[in-house]
Amino acid sequence: MLDDLRTLVEVESPSGDPVALAASAAAVVGVLERRLGGRAALVEGPAGPHVHWSGGGEPRVLVLGHHDTVFPLGTLARRPFAVEDGRVTGPGVFDMLGGLVQAVHGLAALDDLTGVEVLVTCDEENGSPTSRALVEERALACGAVLVCEGAADGGGLKTGRKGCGTFEVLITGRASHAGLEPEAGVNALVEAAHQVLRIEALSRPGAGTTVTPTVAAAGTQGNVVPARASVVVDVRVETIAEQDRVEAAFAALTPHVEGAGIEVRGGVGRPPMPESATAGLFAIASRLLPGVAGVAVGGGSDGNFTAALGVPTLDGLGAVGGGAHADHEYLLVGSMVERADLVTGLVTAIRGARAVRPA
């Protein structure tokens, strides 16, 4: 597993770089075919290639992951793959190349891979704009999804995820000289300040809803009334009802400053992953790995899409470690075999249950 992980990590795969992602996809194909046999297919797209592998027969379980990472080209030179004191470090080892490798080796332990599919996308870190339809198609076809994203703290499985999305509020005003005739302008920055307060008030912590302005920009010169401003907002929700409320509130934003205009873009791109969608598979995992915790988390994954379709989904089956998206990202070597075995057991149980289910 460490050899295969090194192979993947040493082919850098930043989201949004189709050339780099093509090389990364080729490396994923090599690992899949070497460990599982058969042929993996490249599904080309504008963001880069996704990788799909099938063991043939009636689809029963989809193992889902992604090979893109958040780290720019050149990160590997500064932070190379290394194994020391029971930890693996390097760009993408936790999110989520380690989980992908563990899953492949867990599948390789099976004598028969009939009904198993593996889908490894290239744009998950950017919200899966080119892979969502494919993810949903294969999830519906298979009827059960195992997501090999990194584990929750302490190795817990992710049994719930918030829906998440990004809004951008674009504000237009009218420029004028800030000293000679400020009254002739329409101050987009002042309008943005009013909107930020309105937007932040949409949060409902008791309902699990956070609405957080994160990036703002306005103005061109210190002596010019700004004619344009923008505010980026991160949104996390636990329920579809809250998603609908927040999206409706953004759509209903109106200007406070006379003469200003407002345009809202974006939305909640990943729907919530309810714990009800994970309960059955988590019960199986609990028998296979007694004491494992089920944790609801704020971050999103492609598991949000599959669970929202009503497809049984279990997330967080990947690496045990931490530091996702950070320079201190790491994977614990001592948990790799146990997590690979968990995938083996889950696939065996899912296929067995489907095989004896009445028509």
pLDDT tens series, the chain, 359 aa: 999 999 999 999 999 999 999 999 999 999 999 999 999 999 999 999 999 999 999 999 999 999 999 999 999 999 999 999 999 999 999 999 999 999 999 999 999 999 999 999 999 999 999 999 999 999 999 999 999 999 999 999 999 999 999 999 999 999 999 999 999 999 999 999 999 999 999 999 999 999 999 999 999 999 999 999 999 999 999 999 999 999 999 999 999 999 999 999 999 999 999 999 999 999 999 999 999 999 999 889 999 999 999 999 999 999 999 999 999 999 999 999 999 999 999 999 999 875 433 33
Neighbours of 22 (CB within 10 A): 15
- The CATH number of whichever domain residue 142 belongs to comes to 3.40.630.10
Whether the pTM exceeds 0.85: the reply is yes
Q: In terms of domains, do 175 and 124 share one?
A: no
Domain that holds residue 234: 163-270
Q: In terms of domains, do 46 and 168 share one?
A: no
Half-sphere exposure of 250 (CA within 13 A, CB side): 27
- Residues with Cβ within 8 Å of 310's Cβ and at least 6 positions away in sequence, in order, are 277
Q: In terms of domains, do 288 and 348 share one?
A: yes
Domain end: 270, 293, 312, which one? Answer: 270
Domain end: 270, 304, 322, which one? Answer: 270
Q: In terms of domains, do 255 and 324 share one?
A: no
Q: In terms of domains, do 92 and 18 share one?
A: yes
Q: In terms of domains, do 310 and 177 share one?
A: no
Q: In terms of domains, do 9 and 150 share one?
A: yes
Asked whether 198 and 204 are in contact (CB, 8 A), the reply is: no
Nearest to 273 by CA among 347, 208, 319: 208
Q: In terms of domains, do 308 and 338 share one?
A: yes
The reported pLDDT for the residue numbered 354 is 54
Q: In terms of domains, do 114 and 42 share one?
A: yes
Domain end: 242, 270, 298, which one? Answer: 270
The reported pLDDT for the residue numbered 359 is 32
Q: In terms of domains, do 169 and 41 share one?
A: no
Q: In terms of domains, do 109 and 222 share one?
A: no
Neighbours of 206 (CB within 10 A): 6
- 223: region left, alpha or beta (phi > 0 left; psi from -120 to 50 alpha): alpha
Provide the annotated active-site residues: 68, 124
Q: How many domains does the chain have?
A: 2
Q: In terms of domains, do 183 and 283 share one?
A: no
